[in-house]
Chain A
Amino acid sequence: MKKRTMETSLAGHSGKLVRSIERRLFLRQGLSLGALALLSGCELTDDEGVQSLLMGMSRWNDRAQGWLFNPNKLAPEFPESAITKPFPFNAFYSVDEVESVDGASYKLELAGLIRDKKPWTLPELYSLPQTSQITRHICVEGWSAIGKWSGVRFSDFLARIGADTSAKYIGFKCADDYYSSVDMATALHPQTLLTFRYADEILPPKYGFPMKLRIPTKLGFKNPKHIMSMFVTNEYPGGYWEDQGYNWFSGS
Chain B
Amino acid sequence: MKPLETIALAAMLAAGTGAWAADAPSKPMKMDEPMHGEMKKRSMKKGDVKKAAEKKEREMKPMIEKEAAGSARK
Question: Which residues in A have some Cβ–Cβ distance to B below 8 Å?
Answer: 90-100, 111-114, 140-142, 164, 171, 173, 176-179, 204-206, 221, 231, 233-235, 237-238, 240-241, 243-244, 246
Contacts and interface: CB of A to CB of B under 8 A. Distances in A.
17 contacts: A92-B39, A92-B49, A95-B22, A97-B25, A97-B46, A99-B29, A112-B67, A112-B68, A113-B71, A140-B39, A141-B37, A176-B29, A179-B52, A179-B56, A206-B22, A233-B63, A244-B41
Nearest to B24: A205
A147 to B, nearest CB: 16
A18 B28 CA distance: 65
Given A95-B22, A240-B49, A164 B71 contact: yes
Given A93-B29, A99-B25, A206-B23, A221 B67 contact: no
Nearest to B33: A93
Nearest to A96: B26
**Does more than half of chain A's interface fall in helix, strand or loop, or is it mixed?**
loop
Given A92-B40, A164-B71, A240 B29 contact: no
Nearest to B20: A204
A212 B53 CA distance: 18
Contacts of A178: 49, 53
Nearest to B55: A243
B73 interface: no
Given A178-B53, A244-B41, A237 B25 contact: no
A53 B52 CA distance: 21
A231 B26 CA distance: 31
Interface of B: 22-30, 35-41, 44, 46, 49-50, 52-53, 56-57, 60, 63-65, 67-68, 71
Contact of B67 (A142, A173, A234): A234
Contacts of A90: 37
B64 A233 contact: yes
Q: Which of B23, B35, B50 has the largest number of chain A CB atoms within 10 A?
A: B23
Closest 7 CB pairs of A and B: A141-B38, A204-B23, A177-B50, A177-B53, A97-B29, A100-B25, A92-B35
Contacts of B71: 113, 164
A96 B25 contact: yes
Nearest to A142: B38
Contacts of B52: 177, 179, 240, 243
A112 B44 CA distance: 31
Nearest to B26: A96
A227 to B, nearest CB: 13
B18 to A, nearest CB: 11
